[in-house]
Protein backbone atom coordinates (compact mmCIF):
# COMPACT_ATOMS: atom_id res chain seq x y z
CA UNK A 1 0.00 0.00 0.00
CA UNK A 2 1.18 3.50 -0.65
CA UNK A 3 0.01 7.10 -0.55
CA UNK A 4 0.74 9.89 -2.98
CA UNK A 5 0.87 13.63 -2.42
CA UNK A 6 0.25 15.44 -5.70
CA UNK A 7 1.50 18.76 -4.29
CA UNK A 8 3.19 19.97 -1.09
CA UNK A 9 0.41 22.52 -0.46
CA UNK A 10 -1.24 22.40 2.95
CA UNK A 11 -4.79 23.23 4.03
CA UNK A 12 -5.22 25.40 7.14
CA UNK A 13 -8.43 25.58 9.17
CA UNK A 14 -9.47 26.89 12.55
CA UNK A 15 -12.61 26.53 14.63
CA UNK A 16 -13.83 27.44 18.13
CA UNK A 17 -12.65 25.50 21.15
CA UNK A 18 -15.97 24.97 22.91
CA UNK A 19 -14.29 24.16 26.23
CA UNK A 20 -12.51 27.52 26.58
CA UNK A 21 -14.36 30.73 25.76
CA UNK A 22 -12.65 32.73 23.02
CA UNK A 23 -10.08 30.00 22.29
CA UNK A 24 -9.66 28.33 18.91
CA UNK A 25 -8.24 25.10 17.49
CA UNK A 26 -5.90 25.27 14.48
CA UNK A 27 -5.44 22.40 12.04
CA UNK A 28 -3.21 21.78 9.06
CA UNK A 29 -3.73 18.94 6.60
CA UNK A 30 -2.57 17.85 3.18
CA UNK A 31 -4.56 16.17 0.40
CA UNK A 32 -3.39 12.68 -0.47
CA UNK A 33 -4.37 9.61 -2.45
CA UNK A 34 -4.26 6.14 -0.86
CA UNK A 35 -3.63 3.22 -3.21
CA UNK A 36 -4.69 -0.15 -1.77
CA UNK A 37 -3.90 -3.54 -3.24
CA UNK A 38 -6.80 -4.94 -5.23
CA UNK A 39 -8.55 -1.57 -5.48
CA UNK A 40 -9.11 -0.13 -8.95
CA UNK A 41 -9.12 3.52 -7.83
CA UNK A 42 -7.33 5.37 -5.03
CA UNK A 43 -9.12 6.86 -2.02
CA UNK A 44 -8.72 10.63 -1.70
CA UNK A 45 -8.37 11.95 1.85
CA UNK A 46 -6.85 14.76 3.89
CA UNK A 47 -3.97 13.67 6.10
CA UNK A 48 -3.97 15.56 9.39
CA UNK A 49 -0.54 17.12 9.94
CA UNK A 50 -1.30 19.31 12.96
CA UNK A 51 -4.02 19.89 15.54
CA UNK A 52 -3.02 22.62 17.96
CA UNK A 53 -4.23 25.43 20.15
CA UNK A 54 -1.99 28.07 18.56
CA UNK A 55 -1.62 29.41 15.04
CA UNK A 56 2.17 29.42 15.49
CA UNK A 57 2.18 25.65 16.05
CA UNK A 58 -0.06 25.16 13.02
CA UNK A 59 2.22 27.28 10.83
CA UNK A 60 5.38 25.48 12.01
CA UNK A 61 4.40 22.18 10.34
CA UNK A 62 5.30 21.81 6.67
CA UNK A 63 3.71 19.49 4.15
CA UNK A 64 5.24 16.40 2.58
CA UNK A 65 7.05 16.78 -0.72
CA UNK A 66 4.99 15.71 -3.72
CA UNK A 67 5.51 12.05 -4.54
CA UNK A 68 4.73 8.48 -3.52
CA UNK A 69 5.33 7.08 -0.05
CA UNK A 70 5.26 3.43 0.96
CA UNK A 71 3.13 2.43 3.95
CA UNK A 72 3.99 -0.61 6.01
CA UNK A 73 1.20 -2.45 7.85
CA UNK A 74 2.10 -0.79 11.17
CA UNK A 75 2.36 2.72 9.68
CA UNK A 76 -1.34 3.51 9.51
CA UNK A 77 -4.68 3.18 11.26
CA UNK A 78 -7.92 5.09 11.70
CA UNK A 79 -9.09 7.62 14.29
CA UNK A 80 -12.46 7.53 16.08
CA UNK A 81 -14.06 9.25 13.06
CA UNK A 82 -12.64 6.62 10.66
CA UNK A 83 -10.18 9.10 9.14
CA UNK A 84 -6.76 7.71 8.17
CA UNK A 85 -3.99 8.33 10.71
CA UNK A 86 -0.38 7.77 9.73
CA UNK A 87 2.79 7.38 11.78
CA UNK A 88 4.94 9.87 9.85
CA UNK A 89 8.15 8.21 11.04
CA UNK A 90 7.20 5.05 9.09
CA UNK A 91 6.58 6.70 5.70
CA UNK A 92 9.25 5.84 3.18
CA UNK A 93 9.58 7.84 -0.06
CA UNK A 94 9.41 5.62 -3.14
CA UNK A 95 12.36 6.22 -5.43
CA UNK A 96 11.57 6.97 -9.06
CA UNK A 97 11.58 3.81 -11.14
CA UNK A 98 10.70 1.61 -8.13
CA UNK A 99 7.56 -0.49 -8.12
CA UNK A 100 5.23 0.02 -5.16
CA UNK A 101 2.55 -2.51 -6.05
Is residue 100 in a domain?
no
pLDDT at 98: 57
Is residue 52 in a domain?
yes
**Across the chain, where does the E strand assignment appear?**
2-5, 11-16, 24-35, 43-52, 67-71, 76-78, 84-86, 91-93
Is residue 72 in a domain?
yes
CATH code, domain carrying 42: 2.40.50.140
pLDDT at 75: 84
pLDDT at 80: 86
Is residue 99 in a domain?
no
pLDDT along the chain (101 residues), means of 10: 93 95 95 91 92 95 93 82 81 73 50
The domain total for the chain is 1
Is residue 98 in a domain?
no
Is residue 50 in a domain?
yes
Amino acid sequence: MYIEFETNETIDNDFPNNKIEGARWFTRSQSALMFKEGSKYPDKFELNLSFSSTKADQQSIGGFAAGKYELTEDAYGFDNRRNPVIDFTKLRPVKKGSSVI
